[in-house]
Amino acid sequence: MALPIPKDAKRILPEPLRKLTTEIFQEIGCPKADAGRIADCLVQVDLRGVFSHGTRQVRDYVNRYRNGVMATTPNIRLIRETDSTAVIDGGAGIGYLAATRATEAAIEKVEKHGVAVGASRYHGHVGSCGIYIRMALEESLVAIAVAGGAPWGKPSEPEATVWDAMQAPPMSFGIPSEEGPPLVVDMSTNFFRNQEHMEEALKNHAESVLKSMGLMFVSTILGGSLAGFGPDSERDKSYTHAGRGFLIVVVHPDFVGNADYLKSEVTRIITSSRELNPLPGFETAEVAGSLEWQRERDWAKDGIPMADDHLKALEETAGELGVKVPW
C-alpha cells in the first residue's frame, strides 16, 4: 500500500538505510548475506513509495525472529526440479530469501525453454511481489507472481461471510519496455481499506468486490495450495509464521513473438498514455508502475522521504539491538 508522503518527512539516502537494516537483521541472528538480501528488498520497496511493505516491516520481522516463529538461519534448498520448473523449500525462514531463489531459478530456465515456473514454500512473508517481477524485467522477461498461505483454513467466526474466506495476498504482473518505465501492476488483491469500505463498495459497485474476491482466491490458491503445499511431516510446526508459498511464471518474449517489438510497443504505449490528461484529482497522467519507476530514480539521489513514526520505529529497534544509527 502506498502510504501518503508527509510534507515534513526526513530524507534518508538508500545506502545508510540499507546498512542499518542489514545490521539489525545480522544482530538478530541472520547470516550477513541473508540480512543484506532482506534489507535490499525492503529498501527497494521504500524507494518506490510503498512504505507499508518496506522498512516499516523491520520491527515486526525482528519480533517474529525473537519469538521463534521464523528461522534466522533457514536451510533453503531445491526440492523438485524439471527442465522448466523449480520448487524451493524456504526452511521456515523469511520469504524474501526463498522467493528470490525461486525467481532466479525460473529466470535461468526460461532462456532455454521460453516459459518457466519458480515456486517456494514453507517460509514467511515475501513482501511485495513486485520485487521478484522486477528481477525478471531486468532480463527483459514478462512475469506474473502471486503469494498465498497453506494450508487454508475455514474462518470459525459465526458471523464470517465468504469475503472472510481469504486474507489479502499480493499479486504482480510485469512487461518490459525498451526505455522508460516498464508496465508493472503490483498490488494487494484486497482493493479495500477496511470492512466498512468493502461494504460501501458492495452497495454501489458490487462488481469491484466480486473481482477483488476472485483475485484473492486465485492468489491464495496458486501461491498457497499449489506452490505452498508440502507434506506436514517435513515441517517444524513451531515455526508458526512459515506457512507461506510463492509462485512466479516467467515468459521469454522471443519464444512467443518478438522481444524487441514488444519492448518498443510498451514504451510507445506508456509514453503516449502519459501525454494524456490525468485522472480527476491527479497532477500527472500515470500508468501502472510509472510513478514508482520515477520515484526510484529521484529518491536514489535525493533520499527517501520517511515519516517521523517510521524513523522512530527503526531507530528504537536499532537501539534495542545495539546497532548504531548512521544518520
User: What's CA 54's distance to the chain center, in Å?
Assistant: 9
Query: pLDDT at position 234, please?
Result: 66
Q: How far apart are CA 271 and CA 266, in angstroms?
A: 8
Q: How far apart are CA 201 and CA 323, in angstroms?
A: 46
Strands 10-12 and 77-81: what pairing? unpaired
Sorted by where each starts, the structural domains of the chain and their CATH numbers stand as 1-67+290-327 (1.10.1530.10), 78-274 (3.30.1370.60)
Q: How far apart are CA 19 and CA 327, in angstroms?
A: 11
261: how many CB neighbours lie within 10 A of its CB? 11
Strand-pair partners of 170: 188
Q: Give the pLDDT of the chain (327 residues) as one tens digit per residue.
A: 455 676 778 999 999 999 999 999 999 999 999 999 999 999 999 999 999 899 999 999 999 999 999 999 999 999 999 999 999 999 999 999 999 999 999 999 999 999 999 999 999 999 999 999 999 999 999 999 999 987 788 888 998 899 988 888 999 999 999 999 999 999 999 999 888 999 999 999 999 999 999 999 999 999 988 998 776 656 777 888 888 999 999 999 999 999 999 999 999 999 999 999 999 998 999 999 999 999 999 999 999 999 999 999 999 999 999 999 999
Query: pLDDT at position 2, please?
Result: 54
User: Cell 459465526 identifies what position?
Assistant: 158
Query: pLDDT at position 166, please?
Result: 86
DSSP E strands in 113-243: the ranges are: 115-123, 142-149, 170-175, 183-188
DSSP E strands in the chain: the ranges are: 10-12, 77-81, 85-89, 115-123, 142-149, 170-175, 183-188, 244-251, 304-306
